[in-house]
Amino acid sequence: MAGNQKARMRMAIGKPRITRKDKPQATPFRFGFLVHDVSRLRRTLFDQEMKPLGVTRSQWSALAALSRHPDQGVTQVDLARLLEVGKVTIGGLIDRLEASGLIRRVPDKIDRRVKRVFITDKGYDVIEEMQIHGRVQNQYILEGVSPEHLAITLETLDRVRSNIRKKIVTAVELDVADDEGGPAIGE
Protein backbone atom coordinates (compact mmCIF):
# COMPACT_ATOMS: atom_id res chain seq x y z
CA MET A 1 0.00 0.00 0.00
CA ALA A 2 1.50 3.35 -1.04
CA GLY A 3 2.26 5.99 1.62
CA ASN A 4 -0.50 8.38 0.46
CA GLN A 5 -3.01 5.55 0.45
CA LYS A 6 -2.05 4.61 4.03
CA ALA A 7 -2.41 8.23 5.15
CA ARG A 8 -5.87 8.45 3.52
CA MET A 9 -6.90 5.21 5.24
CA ARG A 10 -5.74 6.52 8.65
CA MET A 11 -7.62 9.79 8.12
CA ALA A 12 -10.76 7.94 6.95
CA ILE A 13 -10.87 5.89 10.14
CA GLY A 14 -9.83 8.84 12.31
CA LYS A 15 -6.57 7.30 13.48
CA PRO A 16 -3.42 9.42 13.62
CA ARG A 17 -0.10 8.13 12.34
CA ILE A 18 1.87 6.24 15.00
CA THR A 19 5.33 7.70 15.45
CA ARG A 20 8.36 5.80 16.71
CA LYS A 21 8.09 7.47 20.11
CA ASP A 22 4.55 6.08 20.48
CA LYS A 23 4.51 2.50 21.64
CA PRO A 24 2.25 0.43 19.38
CA GLN A 25 -0.39 -1.39 21.38
CA ALA A 26 -3.25 -3.62 20.51
CA THR A 27 -6.33 -1.47 20.15
CA PRO A 28 -9.20 -1.90 22.57
CA PHE A 29 -11.39 -2.79 19.57
CA ARG A 30 -10.84 -6.56 19.50
CA PHE A 31 -13.65 -7.47 17.13
CA GLY A 32 -11.47 -9.04 14.41
CA PHE A 33 -9.40 -10.98 16.92
CA LEU A 34 -12.49 -12.31 18.71
CA VAL A 35 -14.19 -13.40 15.47
CA HIS A 36 -11.02 -15.15 14.35
CA ASP A 37 -10.35 -16.74 17.75
CA VAL A 38 -13.92 -18.00 18.20
CA SER A 39 -13.83 -19.50 14.71
CA ARG A 40 -10.46 -21.15 15.35
CA LEU A 41 -11.52 -22.57 18.72
CA ARG A 42 -14.81 -23.84 17.32
CA ARG A 43 -13.01 -25.62 14.46
CA THR A 44 -10.54 -27.13 16.95
CA LEU A 45 -13.39 -28.39 19.13
CA PHE A 46 -15.22 -29.79 16.10
CA ASP A 47 -12.00 -31.49 14.92
CA GLN A 48 -11.76 -33.11 18.34
CA GLU A 49 -15.36 -34.31 18.04
CA MET A 50 -14.83 -35.67 14.50
CA LYS A 51 -11.61 -37.55 15.23
CA PRO A 52 -13.40 -40.73 16.46
CA LEU A 53 -15.32 -40.76 13.15
CA GLY A 54 -12.02 -40.77 11.26
CA VAL A 55 -12.86 -37.52 9.45
CA THR A 56 -10.30 -34.73 9.07
CA ARG A 57 -11.13 -31.01 8.93
CA SER A 58 -10.68 -30.85 5.17
CA GLN A 59 -12.86 -33.94 4.74
CA TRP A 60 -15.70 -32.66 6.91
CA SER A 61 -15.49 -29.30 5.14
CA ALA A 62 -15.82 -31.04 1.77
CA LEU A 63 -18.72 -33.21 2.97
CA ALA A 64 -20.50 -30.16 4.39
CA ALA A 65 -20.06 -28.28 1.08
CA LEU A 66 -21.27 -31.28 -0.94
CA SER A 67 -24.30 -31.74 1.32
CA ARG A 68 -25.57 -28.35 0.14
CA HIS A 69 -25.79 -29.69 -3.45
CA PRO A 70 -27.31 -33.15 -2.99
CA ASP A 71 -29.09 -33.67 -6.32
CA GLN A 72 -26.76 -32.14 -8.89
CA GLY A 73 -23.42 -32.86 -7.22
CA VAL A 74 -20.48 -30.50 -7.58
CA THR A 75 -17.64 -30.51 -10.09
CA GLN A 76 -14.15 -30.96 -8.70
CA VAL A 77 -13.26 -27.43 -9.87
CA ASP A 78 -16.30 -25.93 -8.12
CA LEU A 79 -15.56 -27.88 -4.94
CA ALA A 80 -11.99 -26.57 -4.97
CA ARG A 81 -13.37 -23.05 -5.34
CA LEU A 82 -15.88 -23.57 -2.50
CA LEU A 83 -13.14 -24.83 -0.18
CA GLU A 84 -10.59 -22.29 -1.43
CA VAL A 85 -7.99 -24.92 -2.28
CA GLY A 86 -6.06 -25.79 -5.42
CA LYS A 87 -6.81 -28.46 -8.01
CA VAL A 88 -4.05 -30.77 -6.76
CA THR A 89 -5.25 -30.48 -3.15
CA ILE A 90 -8.87 -31.16 -4.08
CA GLY A 91 -7.84 -34.15 -6.21
CA GLY A 92 -6.10 -35.80 -3.25
CA LEU A 93 -8.95 -34.96 -0.89
CA ILE A 94 -11.52 -36.45 -3.26
CA ASP A 95 -9.34 -39.54 -3.74
CA ARG A 96 -9.27 -40.11 0.05
CA LEU A 97 -13.02 -39.49 0.46
CA GLU A 98 -13.77 -41.86 -2.41
CA ALA A 99 -11.42 -44.53 -0.99
CA SER A 100 -13.32 -44.21 2.32
CA GLY A 101 -16.60 -44.71 0.49
CA LEU A 102 -17.94 -41.29 1.55
CA ILE A 103 -18.27 -39.82 -1.95
CA ARG A 104 -18.39 -40.99 -5.55
CA ARG A 105 -17.39 -39.36 -8.82
CA VAL A 106 -19.78 -39.50 -11.75
CA PRO A 107 -19.14 -38.24 -15.30
CA ASP A 108 -21.18 -35.11 -16.08
CA LYS A 109 -24.20 -35.78 -18.31
CA ILE A 110 -23.32 -32.94 -20.69
CA ASP A 111 -19.50 -33.01 -20.66
CA ARG A 112 -18.20 -36.51 -19.91
CA ARG A 113 -14.69 -35.12 -19.27
CA VAL A 114 -16.05 -33.35 -16.18
CA LYS A 115 -16.59 -35.37 -13.01
CA ARG A 116 -19.35 -34.48 -10.57
CA VAL A 117 -18.86 -35.41 -6.93
CA PHE A 118 -21.77 -36.87 -4.94
CA ILE A 119 -22.07 -38.01 -1.34
CA THR A 120 -22.75 -41.72 -0.80
CA ASP A 121 -25.13 -43.17 1.81
CA LYS A 122 -22.10 -43.79 4.03
CA GLY A 123 -21.14 -40.14 3.56
CA TYR A 124 -24.63 -39.04 4.58
CA ASP A 125 -24.30 -41.19 7.71
CA VAL A 126 -21.14 -39.26 8.59
CA ILE A 127 -22.92 -35.95 7.89
CA GLU A 128 -25.73 -37.02 10.20
CA GLU A 129 -23.16 -37.68 12.95
CA MET A 130 -21.52 -34.33 12.18
CA GLN A 131 -24.89 -32.59 12.59
CA ILE A 132 -25.55 -34.32 15.91
CA HIS A 133 -22.12 -33.31 17.20
CA GLY A 134 -22.64 -29.79 15.82
CA ARG A 135 -25.97 -29.35 17.62
CA VAL A 136 -24.51 -30.57 20.92
CA GLN A 137 -21.48 -28.36 20.41
CA ASN A 138 -23.67 -25.31 19.68
CA GLN A 139 -25.63 -25.92 22.88
CA TYR A 140 -22.38 -26.12 24.82
CA ILE A 141 -20.68 -23.08 23.30
CA LEU A 142 -23.82 -20.91 23.51
CA GLU A 143 -24.44 -21.79 27.16
CA GLY A 144 -25.33 -18.62 29.06
CA VAL A 145 -26.09 -16.61 25.89
CA SER A 146 -29.67 -15.37 25.84
CA PRO A 147 -31.76 -15.74 22.67
CA GLU A 148 -31.87 -11.93 22.46
CA HIS A 149 -28.08 -11.60 22.61
CA LEU A 150 -27.67 -14.39 20.07
CA ALA A 151 -30.12 -12.68 17.70
CA ILE A 152 -28.21 -9.38 18.00
CA THR A 153 -24.88 -11.16 17.47
CA LEU A 154 -26.16 -12.96 14.36
CA GLU A 155 -27.62 -9.74 12.97
CA THR A 156 -24.34 -7.92 13.61
CA LEU A 157 -22.23 -10.65 12.01
CA ASP A 158 -24.55 -10.75 8.98
CA ARG A 159 -24.12 -6.98 8.59
CA VAL A 160 -20.33 -7.21 8.95
CA ARG A 161 -20.18 -10.03 6.40
CA SER A 162 -22.30 -8.01 3.99
CA ASN A 163 -20.06 -4.96 4.44
CA ILE A 164 -16.94 -7.05 3.81
CA ARG A 165 -18.44 -8.66 0.70
CA LYS A 166 -19.33 -5.22 -0.69
CA LYS A 167 -15.79 -4.02 -0.03
CA ILE A 168 -14.29 -7.09 -1.70
CA VAL A 169 -16.48 -6.59 -4.77
CA THR A 170 -15.59 -2.90 -4.84
CA ALA A 171 -11.88 -3.70 -4.57
CA VAL A 172 -12.13 -6.29 -7.37
CA GLU A 173 -14.05 -3.82 -9.56
CA LEU A 174 -11.40 -1.16 -8.90
CA ASP A 175 -8.62 -3.61 -9.79
CA VAL A 176 -10.38 -4.47 -13.06
CA ALA A 177 -10.91 -0.78 -13.84
CA ASP A 178 -7.24 -0.08 -13.12
CA ASP A 179 -6.19 -3.00 -15.33
CA GLU A 180 -8.35 -1.76 -18.19
CA GLY A 181 -7.51 1.94 -18.09
CA GLY A 182 -4.26 2.54 -16.26
CA PRO A 183 -0.68 2.14 -17.38
CA ALA A 184 1.13 -1.09 -16.67
CA ILE A 185 3.66 -1.11 -13.85
CA GLY A 186 6.98 0.16 -15.10
CA GLU A 187 5.55 2.22 -17.98
CATH number of the domain enclosing 124: 1.10.10.10
17-21, 83-87, 143-147, range with greatest mean pLDDT: 143-147
Quick check: is 97 in a domain?
yes
Count of domains for the chain:
1
Residue 170 reports pLDDT greater than 50: yes
pLDDT recorded at residue 50: 85
73-106 residues labelled b (16+ CB within 10 A) or e (exposed):
bbbbebbbebbebeeeebeebbeebeeeebbbee
Quick check: is 82 in a domain?
yes
Quick check: is 22 in a domain?
no
Name the band, by pLDDT with cuts 50, 70 and 90, for residue 116: very high
Residue 102 reports pLDDT greater than 80: yes
53's CB contacts (< 8 A; 6+ apart) are: 126, 129, 130
27's CB contacts (< 8 A; 6+ apart) are: none
Residue 180 reports pLDDT greater than 50: no
Domain that residue 112 falls in: 54-141
8 A C-beta contact, residue 41 and residue 101 = no
> Which of 58-72, 111-125, 158-172 is predicted least confidently?
158-172
Quick check: is 121 in a domain?
yes
- Over range 31-36, report the average pLDDT: 88
Quick check: is 132 in a domain?
yes
- Over range 159-183, report the average pLDDT: 67
Name the band, by pLDDT with cuts 50, 70 and 90, for residue 52: confident
d(CA 49, CA 97): 18
Cα diameter, the chain: 66
Residue 161 reports pLDDT greater than 60: yes
Quick check: is 65 in a domain?
yes
Name the band, by pLDDT with cuts 50, 70 and 90, for residue 57: confident
0.85 exceeded by the pTM? no
Quick check: is 61 in a domain?
yes
Query: How many CB atoms within 10 Å of residue 142?
Result: 13
Name the band, by pLDDT with cuts 50, 70 and 90, for residue 178: very low
- Over range 51-65, report the average pLDDT: 89
8 A C-beta contact, residue 137 and residue 98 = no
pLDDT recorded at residue 30: 82
Which residues, in sequence order, are bridge partners of residue 117?
Answer: 74, 105
Percent of the chain past pLDDT 90, that is, above it, reads 50
